[in-house]
Structure 1
């Protein structure tokens, strides 16, 4: 995964040089992971000289809901947050695919982990240029992790809470240390939850299946997109608990997410998925997805993409 940082960021209520966006070593969030973050992709279309930001409204809807789950707030509305993203893109003038990272964190030097009502949450936003997080044009390998997904009753899975992602880091490290691209994480009930930082889908007998929201998953925006597209394409879908052994008999499988986009899987725990090639359903969804996010599909791009002229 190649990435490079853009020169400007948003920090402490203003646009600053990224190198000047710094926090104290005493920052509460640095000690305890008391923060909420998001990930938003912008796709550069050279022929249109525009950056297409995908489902910006939905990302900040989830972001603000995550803050509600923590019982904290920031002094920005959804409209204002979207404007900050657009203005930052205009300042940085990206001519590559880009990734926006909004982050709200406990910024006091309080050494208590208590999220009391007086805790000040600071909002910041930075951009990086980002290509593929995982390969999308070749199949990837995955293993079922020995680490279990943190229960929603322990740390809310519906919120992207920064401290919770040590769970993801452990699963990802285990997978890559053993030569796999990605991990598949089970929940405490033994059902499939998701990847280390991506939602999971499998196809069996032409049915698109994904773990239920109640299986300790992040309610992914790309996941929702895939389900909506499948409905429009008349592909039968099921949101339900998935057993581990179903992974080994799947006809197709793939991960979805803002970072991973749509990456198809050809091997799980050393077992070939289907015929080891990109499947018909995953292929159809992947091709349509990339057409949409680059602003090349009139029906969906106008609905889901925020276009920013560059140059």
Structure 2
């Protein structure tokens, strides 16, 4: 398999792809004790810029805090390392993956405090539209999964943690084996939660509805971006628990995420949305979002961190 990147930042130094290795007895490999981020850099008219870099890396540290992983690096240091990794690989547009995880700490589920080792790595590589370029323009077909999202007070959904994504794996795999582009998960109360790796938005009668963070979702940074852009356009926003059937009655539905960006949904469980793909509000938000990177939307919020 061709390497995704030439160099990877690993514990403070750049290493060649083949040298960025961990041991098979790494704690995170066995128990999922890692936290990570997905970040995009865009080649803008003013040069390469990382989107909401500080917010992403602050969440990385916040996730580590929730899981009691002691971090040896500050947000500013990880920001600098992300930019260093981009430059080392000669990339202007890329997907970045910072990850922090428990290394060789023994095979006990709970390692002793004096034996905890947290490794930190950052990779950067080209990555196109997560659900396909056609998905961004035409929309994708999804299904509601038989797998539910994690219940409150079991695994903290607010942390972007490696082990949390076993749920996502099951939801996404079930959807793809059934011929859908993605799966949507319900909470344990049967209300809408999120996709396998995306937040969910439903447009009904001109209002933008989205499940609240209490619905076992990750409070996505792209989600927050869309809410901010929608408010700037005067679109009414409703954050509340949503029943499953709202998907079938919606005018428009879309998902958001760093990898997925803003991906329209054209059908759910083989029921087309009333727009049958990206509707007018979805297209407007897509234009405002992509405009941040092509110069058509003013970055009033200081979201672009130039390399």
Which category of TM-score, normalised to the shorter sequence, fits these structures? over 0.9
2:100 to 91, 95, 104: 104
Kindly state the Cα deviation for residue 203 of structure 1 after the two structures are TM-superposed: 0.3
Structure 1 residues 108 and 4: CA distance shift in structure 2, 3 A? closer
Higher relative contact order structure (alpha carbons within 8 Å, sequence separation ≥ 6): 1
CA distance in 2, matches of 1:210, 1:244: 12
Is the 2:91–2:125 Cα contact (8 Å) retained in structure 1? no
Q: Distance in 2 between matches of 1:16 and 1:174?
A: 36
- Aligned pairs (5 A) from 1:184-223: 184-223=184-223
Question: Considering only aligned residues, what root-mean-square deviation do their CA atoms show, in Å?
Answer: 1.5
What TM-score does the superposition give when structure 1 sets the normalisation length?
Answer: 0.94
SS of the equivalent of 1:105 reads strand
Q: Is the 8 A contact 1:210 1:239 kept in 2?
A: yes
- The answer on whether the counterparts of 2:105 and 2:111 sit within 8 Å (CA) in structure 1 is no
Residue 14 in 1 paired to residue 10 in 2? Answer: no
Q: Does residue 58 in structure 1 map to residue 85 in structure 2?
A: no
Q: Secondary structure at the match of 1:16?
A: strand
Tell me the residue number matched to 1:121.
Answer: 118
Deviation at 1:277, TM superposition (A): 3.2
**1:90 aligned partner:** 87
Query: Which residue does 2:171 correspond to in 1?
Result: 171
What secondary structure, in the 3-state scheme, does the structure 1 residue paired with 2:266 have?
strand
Aligned residues: 302
Aligned CA distance change for structure 1 residues 73 and 246 (closer, same or farther; 3 Å): same
1:242 corresponding residue in structure 2: 242
- Report the counterpart of residue 224 of structure 1 in structure 2: 224
CA deviation after TM superposition for structure 1 residue 295, in Å: 4.8
Question: Contact between 2:69 and 2:102, CA under 8 Å: does it hold in 1?
Answer: no
**TM-score, normalised via structure 2 length:** 0.95
Could you list the runs of 5+ residues in structure 1 that have no partner in the other structure? none
**1:16-35 equivalences in 2 (<5 Å):** 16-35=15-34
Unaligned runs of 5+ in 2: none
| CA positional deviation for 1:252 | 0.3
Aligned residue for 1:307? 306
